[in-house]
Amino acid sequence: MAASFVEEPEAGPRSKRAAILTAAVDCFGETGFEATKWSTVAERVGIGQTALYHYFESKTHCLLTIMRLELQRSHDKFTEATAGVDDPVDALRSAVGAAYDVSDQEVLQMRILHNHMDLLSGTRKSKREEAERVAARQLVQVVERDWTNLLVRGMSQGAFPLRDAQLLGASVLGLIVSVWRWYRPSGPTPLSEISDLIEDACVRVVAM
Amino acid sequence: MAASFVEEPEAGPRSKRAAILTAAVDCFGETGFEATKWSTVAERVGIGQTALYHYFESKTHCLLTIMRLELQRSHDKFTEATAGVDDPVDALRSAVGAAYDVSDQEVLQMRILHNHMDLLSGTRKSKREEAERVAARQLVQVVERDWTNLLVRGMSQGAFPLRDAQLLGASVLGLIVSVWRWYRPSGPTPLSEISDLIEDACVRVVAM
DNA sequence: AATTGAACTGAACTTGGCTCAAGTTGCGTT
DNA sequence: AACGCAACTTGAGCCAAGTTCAGTTCAATT
């Protein structure tokens, strides 16, 4: 099942694409997508607003790109964390741990991603936006499959009781990502503590 | 701890306020808040766009009102479901069941609410908007306290193992509401099935 | 020096939320 | 029935922010 690719523009040496993405993540993550003016992102990068359109077709196109990149990262992280871990419970713990092993910038990206999941439903008008949307939507399914497969494997090995893996997978994923709604790096609860609690909770949900 | 009230405008017999709210829930829930034109809501109600401003200060004010009403409903439902249920596990099950005992319209309201939680963070410029925001934010805390209290009670009674009730409460809540991201009444999975699975999952998370 | 394509810009356009000043409608009072 | 007031409604137009357009600058290549 080959994924439809969005040709990642290779960075010319003068390209500000990466800088724009970083600035956009900061702005969208802290101020919120709707609340941040597109021109503010331009300012922060140090270019005129219209220069943004050299790199992204629209503000939304930039957002969708951020979301897709984050989904790709999540999937890669999951794969890496579970590769070669045979025991299902260990794999589950490792996967949950990996989900919370993120930098502050990635926390913002997670927040952005989950605050705008609804964008992935309806089709977009312009070509490149729609391409990003489809790619992102596909990655969502890939990530969901990651988790469901993990559960299916555990169930068939007898490590987890038999349940609707699809539904349970979605629930576990929901439990994990719900944290990004409220977690703030500056807040009172360290991420490690959250990670441990959720990890245990996931094991109880799945393996008991 | 008296809640700050938003004086609910009593419906004059000619008032279209309720109709607007219903139409807005339909539009915002199906098309998304940003994607739906304020004027479309007016059309659906059968009034001119500017008439909307007789009832709501802005499109966002309407959204915030919908969110607050939904939060109030959730809190009331929780209270009703857990009143007089002594056994903590029973109370937990009852509360979860109540959370999924909703009409199709209420599903939309849930979706709207959780898709725009981030709105409750930053302050608003206009008076009435800000009033709704503060009221909603307070209700979020009330609902969170509902669940934490339930856990605290269960823990102190020895029915639940001792854990960080705050964190666990937020997680359980996250697990429950994550469903509204993807659930569609027209979808393949009936809400009753989801409710049962999540109910059991919550019990495992909290009571084991 | 001329060429090329990526990077960039100022000015103008578009859309959609919102304001304003001026009406209309219908209920309670006389 | 007529009046008055508050509730309600509207058309015309404003404004902010995203977007388009028609070009200009820059750096590397020939």
Residue A124's pLDDT is what? 92
Q: What is the dihedral of CA A97, A99, A104, A109, to 10 degrees?
A: 180
Q: Please report which confidence band the pLDDT of residue B9 belongs to, taking 50, 70 and 90 as the band edges.
A: low
More confident residue, B12 or A121: A121
Residue B15 Cβ under 7 A from any strand C atom: no
B162 touches chain A (CB under 8 A): no
B189 touches chain A (CB under 8 A): yes
Residue A18 Cβ under 7 A from any strand C atom: no
Prediction pTM value:
0.93
Give the residue nearest to nucleotide D17 (CA to C1'). A37
Return the SS3 of A7. Answer: coil
Q: What's the whole-number mean pLDDT along residues B84-112?
A: 97
List of protein residues whose beta carbon is under 7 A from strand D: A 13-14, 36-39, 49-50, 53, 57-60, 126; B 12, 14-16, 47-48, 50-51, 53-54
Residue B73's pLDDT is what? 97
pLDDT mean for each 10 residues of chain A (208 residues): 64 85 97 95 94 95 97 98 96 98 98 95 91 97 98 97 97 98 96 98 97
Asked if pLDDT for residue B3 goes beyond 70, the answer is: no
Which nucleotide is at minimal CA–C1' distance from A54?
C7
A40 touches chain B (CB under 8 A): no
Residue B13's pLDDT is what? 65
Q: What six digits make up the tokens of A129?
A: 């936006």
Q: Judge contact between B96 and B85, C-beta under 8 A.
A: no
Cβ-based neighbours of A7, under 8 Å, separated by 6 or more: none
Cross-chain residue pair B182–A193, CB shorter than 8 Å: no
